[in-house]
Amino acid sequence: MSATAPRQARGPSASYAEPVEAPGIDPRGPQFTAAITAVVLIVILLLPPAAAAVLTGVQALLFALGAMRGVQHTPHAALFKRLVRPRLRPSAELEDPAPPRFAQAVGLVFTLVALVGYLTGLTLLGQIAIGFALVAALLNAVFRFCLGCEMYLLLKRLGG
Amino acid sequence: MVGLWIVLAAVVLALGFGGYRLLTDGRFNGTHAVRGAGSEQDVTAQPAETDPSTWASLGEAVASVVPGERATLVQFSSAFCAPCRATRRILGEVAEVVPGVVHVEVDAEHHLEVVRRLNVVRTPTTLILDGDGREVARAAGAPRKEQVLGALPLGM
């Protein structure tokens, strides 16, 4: 998945030594991606099962792309760079690309579960899985809040 | 139609949860009184083994750090955490400006024992320890600078 977080292992660093970080990305990029994703997920939920399965497959591919190549190398990101970013003011703060990339992997898991649901006739399972992915995408699009990232520590805590 | 209901439920859930987070993130809450922390004498009288300070609980996670005389800001971070970066900058600035305040960052993933012991569930979580290494306040989510300054224990 995304084991290659481009961040050096952080030991206990006392205050004044700010760690040098990888160049960040515009945080509004992943936010834009999440907004488009949310729209796609809503459409999936409103379509009949066969069409929903097809679109779920497409969205799973997009998530896979984001998880493997990073959120800054997806079709959404290209769209953002060409159409949206030139119209915005420069971002005050850049962000680490690792968290949104991890979120794409979480999205991939949910869409794969949904795909299995739709393809095996368990339409409700598919719809619920898409519903969870929609909650996460909306949180990201509206509040820039990464639900998958928080689950990460909770799962680690449980797993030991 | 079931799909439409799920859309509505997801929107309500996301707006409710996100709104709640927006209101509470970065807010420092006084920590519940540590056992025996009622009066200064009681605490100092107790042997360290029976009532370890929060600083002591951190153990090897902060091994090479000298705690601040007035306060230590302990930040728990993880790799997949966008607001951790902003939190690091803000706490670093506070430590730079206010004398006797030190900022320490702990990688939550690599110190899960400490994370469980101190009941940290999210990153970033910031603990404010007083000069004796006891936790006086904590905030989950990125705090603003004023919020940190307002929660610092008084200097001596």
**Pairwise CA distance, residues B112 & B120, whole Å:** 9
Q: Which residue has the tokens 């690792």?
A: A98
**Predicted local distance difference test score (pLDDT) of residue B129:** 93
Handedness of CA A82, A84, A87, A88 (dihedral sign): negative
Residue A18 resides in a domain: no
Residue B51 resides in a domain: yes
The whole domain housing B93 covers: 28-151
Number of domains in chain A: 1
Best to test chain B binding among A4, A10, A138 (most B CBs inside 10 Å): A10
Residue B115 resides in a domain: yes
Considering only CB atoms, A152 lies closest to which of B22, B78, B103, namely B78
Interchain CB distance below 8 Å, A15 and B103: yes
Query: Chain A closest CA to B113's CA: distance in Å?
Result: 8
The whole domain housing A67 covers: 28-88+95-159
Number of domains in chain B: 1
Residue A3 resides in a domain: no
User: In chain B, which residue's Cα lies nearest the Cα of A138?
Assistant: B14
Residue A115 resides in a domain: yes
Residue A8 resides in a domain: no
A1 near A68, Cβ under 8 Å? no
Residue B119 resides in a domain: yes
**Pairwise CA distance, residues B60 & B57, whole Å:** 9
Q: What is the 3-state secondary structure (H, E, C) of chain A?
A: CCCCCCCCCCCCEECCCCCCCCCCECCHHHHHHHHHHHHHHHHHHHCCHHHHHHHHHHHHHHHHHHHHHCHHHCHHHHHHHHHHHHHCCCCCCCECCHHHHHHHHHHHHHHHHHHHHHHCCCHHHHHHHHHHHHHHHHHHHHHCCCHHHHHHHHHHHHHC
Predicted ipTM beyond 0.85: no
Residue B4 resides in a domain: no
Residue A33 resides in a domain: yes
Edge-to-edge order in the sheet of strand B29-30: A13-14, B101-107, B71-77, B125-130, B135-140, B29-30
**Pairwise CA distance, residues A55 & A59, whole Å:** 6
Residue A12 resides in a domain: no
**Predicted local distance difference test score (pLDDT) of residue B29:** 87
Residue B19 resides in a domain: no
Residue B85 resides in a domain: yes
Residue A152 resides in a domain: yes
Residue B60 resides in a domain: yes
pTM for the structure as a whole: 0.82
Interchain CB distance below 8 Å, B7 and A10: no
Interchain CB distance below 8 Å, B104 and A154: no
Interchain CB distance below 8 Å, B82 and A95: yes
**Predicted local distance difference test score (pLDDT) of residue B40:** 45
List the CATH number of the domain containing B68.
3.40.30.10
Residue B22 resides in a domain: no
pLDDT-flagged residues of chain A (< 70)? 1-22, 160
Name, in order, each residue with C-beta under 8 angstroms of B24's C-beta and a sequence gap of 6 or more: B140, B141
Residue A10 resides in a domain: no
Interchain CB distance below 8 Å, A138 and B77: no
Q: Mean pLDDT per segment of 10 residues, for chain B of length 156 residues? A: 95 97 91 46 43 80 86 94 92 95 94 92 94 92 94 79
